[in-house]
Structure 1
Amino acid sequence: MVEVTLWAGLRPLAEDQEHVMVEAATIRELLRKLQLRYPALEQSFRNDVAVAINGTIYRDDWSQKIPEDAEVYLIRRLPGG
């Protein structure tokens, strides 16, 4: 189980939660479970979200494994390179 911190723009779509606990082994599973719990997140997950795990930002590698007790943040995806 990991604690996920949501950036301020996602909180209204997740019942104003700043932190949520999710049982997930990969980023893909994490996003899927969050979307099932909070359906309003779907659009943001398609275009606007990056995932930071222990300080490393993942923009497209949703197969990335999430270590136990990882520090996980859903952050706004920044355009550009």
Structure 2
Amino acid sequence: MSVSVRVPTILRTYTGGESEVSATGATLAEVLDDLDASYPGIRARVLDDNGALRRFVNVYVGNEDVRFLENLETPTPEGAQVSVIPAVAGG
């Protein structure tokens, strides 16, 4: 399934400055694999050494946070928008 992936500013060095790219995959894990094939190194910025989502990176499929869905196994239907959003901390 082809999806649109919104890329945060901090990761745009991997996508040649593009703020939105296309990727394919039936699940978020497959989409991240496809992204990494096209933009080497980007997956390592989203996933930790154990292959889980990094603590300070939020990923949404549509308007839903994947942490409250099926994490990396969250389905990514045709035309879905995947958003990678770094968490902001401070006070």
TM class, shorter-chain normalised?
0.7 to 0.9
For residues 2-52 of structure 1, what are the alpha-carbon distances to aligned partners after superposition, in whole Å with 9 as ceiling and x for unaligned? 111111111112211111111211000001111111113143122353321
Q: Quick check: 1:14–1:40 contact (8 Å CA) kept in 2?
A: no
SS at match of 1:65: coil
- Structure 1 residue aligned with 2:71, among 56, 61, 65? 61
Match of 1:71 in 2: 81
Greater Rg by CA: 2
RMSD of aligned alpha carbons: 2.0
Task: State the 1:77 CA deviation.
Answer: 4.5
> How many Å separate the matches in 2 of 1:42 and 1:23?
14
Equivalent residue of 1:13, what SS? Answer: coil
| Unaligned ranges ≥5, structure 1 | none
> How far has the Cα of 1:78 moved from its partner?
6.0
Aligned residues: 79
Question: TM (normalized to structure 2)?
Answer: 0.72
Q: Percent of counterpart pairs with the same letter?
A: 25
In 1, the alpha carbon distance for the partners of 2:88 and 2:80 equals: 22
Structure 2: give runs of 5+ residues left out of the alignment. 48-53
